Amino acid sequence: MSTYQVPTMAEMAANSQTPEVLFWVGCAGSFDDRYKAVTQAFVKILTKVGVSFAVLGPEEACTGDPARRAGNEFLFQMQAVANIQVMNGYEVKKVVTACPHCFNTIKNEYPALGGNYEVIHHSEFLQQLINEGKVALQGGGEFKGKKITFHDSCYLGRANEVYEAPREVIKALDVELVEMKRCRTKGLCCGAGGAQMFKEPEAGKKDINIERTEEALATGAQAIAVGCPFCLTMMTDGIKNKNKEAEVQVYDLAEMIAKDMGI
């Protein structure tokens, strides 16, 4: 029996190999204890399906998204230009990432700085794998027949108009997908975008993630599916705040697929 391999671009280049796709892990996927599980789940899926991939490993750095949204254009561009130099050095063509913020920045904002890649979010990547029959879902497992709601991430949904791919992935699990009142183009933010993840909210009557969690709980769903590390944190905190962690779980799409595949 062999163990999982996580090749880096540097290792591949040393062996004169070029992977089909660069998996951009992102800071949350690298450092956040909860989101590391998502990164690992996605690597397992890629391995199981036999996708040729590599990561940047220690050579990856923040895309600069939160700095840019907080107004610090210098810092954003320092990060972006350095990342682009690394990626262009490896002649990266295609990038997949589990973070909508990284996805948006690399896809839409790196071209102006000389970084041109085909960038896809892992929800789209998973949907393609399912459609191509490469991911063999058991259609059973722990999610079968359960009510699941999907929380649209702003940077996936409104920012880039990816609404259906994550839903298709969830539906493939033979579950009952229930929608929140505010969904798709009207989806309510979890409260973390625009660098809000990194500071306390301004004074108000409620935290945004609580408002959204209440809406998710109102659907009666047993699990909330997300496709973004910040949303995962915000919704998990919201569920804890409501003392519902025993009844309602928050999962990333990749985790759900990996669980169903038994990996």
Please list every residue from 190 through 209 that binds another protein, using CB under 8 A: 191-208
SS3 82: helix
Helix (H) or strand (E) holding 140: none
Q: Which is nearer to another protein, 72 or 222 (CB)?
A: 72
Q: What's the order of all strands across the beta sheet hosting 176-178?
A: 176-178, 147-150, 223-226, 249-252
Min dist. Cβ of residue 246 to another protein (A): 26
* φ, ψ of residue 202 in degrees (nearest 5): -65, 165
* Per-residue mark of binding to another protein, 42-71 (x: CB under 8 A): -xx--xx------x-xx-xxx-x-xxxxxx
Structure tokens at 20: 């089909």
Q: How many other C-beta atoms are found inside a 10 Å radius of the C-beta of residue 258?
A: 22
Q: Kindly indicate which of the ranges 26-34, 118-126, 136-144, 166-174 contains the residues binding another protein, using the contact rule CB under 8 A.
A: 26-34
Task: Give the chain's largest Cα–Cα span.
Answer: 57
Binding-residue total with another protein (CB under 8 A): 83
User: For residues 210-227, b (16+ Cβ closer than 10 Å) or e, as one string?
Assistant: ebbbebbbebebbbbbbb
Q: Kindly indicate which of the ranges 39-47, 169-177, 236-244, 245-253 contains the residues binding another protein, using the contact rule CB under 8 A.
A: 39-47
Stretch 81-140 residues interacting with another protein (CB under 8 A) = 81-82, 85, 104, 107-109, 112-113
214 touches another protein (CB under 8 A): no
Q: Which is nearer to another protein, 32 or 174 (CB)?
A: 32
- Answer for which of 79, 127, 149, 213 binds another protein (CB under 8 A) is 79
Min dist. Cβ of residue 115 to another protein (A): 12
